[in-house]
Amino acid sequence: MNEPYAALAESAGGFIHEIKNHLSTLGLNLQLLAEDFHDPQSHRERRALARVQKLQGECQRLVDVANDFLRFARIQELDRRPADIGKIIEEMIDFFSPTARTANIEIKSFVAGDLPLIPLDRDLFKQALLNLMLNAEQAMPSGGELTIQATHEPGEKRQGSEDGNHKSLVCLSLIDTGKGMPAGVLARVFEPFFSTRPGGTGLGLPTTRKIIDAHGGDIEVQSEVGRGTKFTIRLPVN
């Protein structure tokens, strides 16, 4: 990460942290107000309680946005160690399965058995995968299928390249059978704070791309309205 960007990210992180402190104080006072009206006796008290509860919801949304932004801003140096991506995928499927069952989503996994170890920051990479899984869930409100594929693309000699080699990659795809995205939305999915979901922070997919970029990989998306969406991640083996 270059120094100006790192300094900006650190300043933004400190600013958001300060805002969170004030939100914590605000949330505590709203909780006390709600307790004062826990048994409203009149229309006026019921209306006051409803307003307090609405403010509590907005306060929590601001906390969620702040937390998401902190994760987005502070992706800097990675703790990368050789990792078995197949096991990480298995762990994330196991973690996400209760959510998938509740949402009537069937998860299908096709992970090659010959995947090489990849230098990964396990926690950050898991966060990236979780963001994509949650995105798929939101795209399938009536249920559907989420297919996860992982293959190895070994390096090969290639004419015209500077070193004569094509880099060895692991290719990971997440494919859902959801509602898909129109072209205008598809072009903006990785923009910070862009969201078509009410209450969404618009930072999940930008954070995922930032994590993949930090690993030296790339992520692309294909989507068609009514047919679903496919995210493809390519990561260098070394």
pLDDT, tens digit, for every residue of 108-155?
999 998 899 999 999 889 989 999 999 999 999 999 999 999 999 887
Q: What is the pLDDT of residue 173?
A: 96
What is the enclosing helix (H) or strand (E) of 182?
none
Whether the Cβ atoms of residue 109 and residue 99 lie closer than 8 Å to each other: no
**Residues forming a β-bridge with 154:** none
Q: What is the pLDDT of residue 158?
A: 45
Which residue reads 């790192």 in tokens?
Answer: 6
Q: Which fold has domain 81-236?
A: Heat Shock Protein 90 (3.30.565)
Q: What is the DSSP letter of 192?
A: T
Per-residue CA distances from 47 to 30, 38, 41, 42, 203 (Å): 15, 12, 11, 9, 34
DSSP 3-state assignment of 180? coil
Instruction: Return the percentage of the chain with pLDDT > 90, whole number.
Output: 46
In 3D, which of 108, 107, 106, 112 has the Cα closest to residue 86?
112
- Longest CA–CA span in the chain (Å) reads 81
Q: Using the predicted structure, report yes or no on whether residue 1 has a pLDDT greater than 50.
A: no
Q: Using the predicted structure, report yes or no on whether residue 2 has a pLDDT greater than 60.
A: no
Region 93-119 average pLDDT: 94
35-70 pLDDT, tens digit each: 888 888 888 888 888 888 888 888 887 877 777 776
**pTM (predicted TM-score):** 0.72
67-78 pLDDT, tens digit each: 777 667 666 667
